């Protein structure tokens, strides 16, 4: 099983990435079941490669989620800083003296 590259995953549509994630998760579950039953795996490194691919896909999915969240926050109105926090600290320091 070849390792998926993050560059290729980022080029895919989000629906395709989720489908690939589900496919690899199901395959990993199957391979773990075979190993638990005492069967010899066809390829000893397959479980490790599956886990690596799943982690890479999960990372790309989180990046896409954070990017979409950041884009929606930039579109919203910004709050003006009132400066009250600094004034309150100055008042508290004077009270302690």
pLDDT tens sequence across 67-86: 888 888 877 666 655 666 55
CA-to-CA distance for 14 and 64, rounded, in angstroms?
8
Residue 30, pLDDT above cutoff 70: yes
pLDDT tens sequence across 32-46: 998 889 877 778 899
Residue 18 has, within 13 A of its CA and on its CB side, a CA count of 6
Q: State if pTM tops 0.85.
A: no
Q: Please give the domain boundaries of the chain with CATH numbers for all domains.
A: 6-77 (1.10.287.310)
CA-to-CA distance for 64 and 77, rounded, in angstroms?
22
The per-residue pLDDT for 73 is 80
């Amino acid at each position: 099983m070849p390792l998926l590259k993050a560059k290729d995953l980022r080029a895919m549509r989000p629906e395709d990435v989720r489908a690939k994630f589900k496919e690899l998760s199901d395959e990993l579950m199957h391979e773990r079941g075979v190993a638990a039953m005492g069967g010899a795996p066809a390829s000893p490194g397959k479980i490790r490669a599956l886990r690596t691919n799943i982690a890479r896909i999960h990372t790309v999915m989180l990046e896409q989620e954070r990017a979409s969240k950041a884009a929606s926050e930039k579109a919203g109105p910004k709050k003006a800083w009132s400066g009250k926090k600094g004034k309150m600290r100055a008042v508290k320091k004077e009270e302690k003296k």
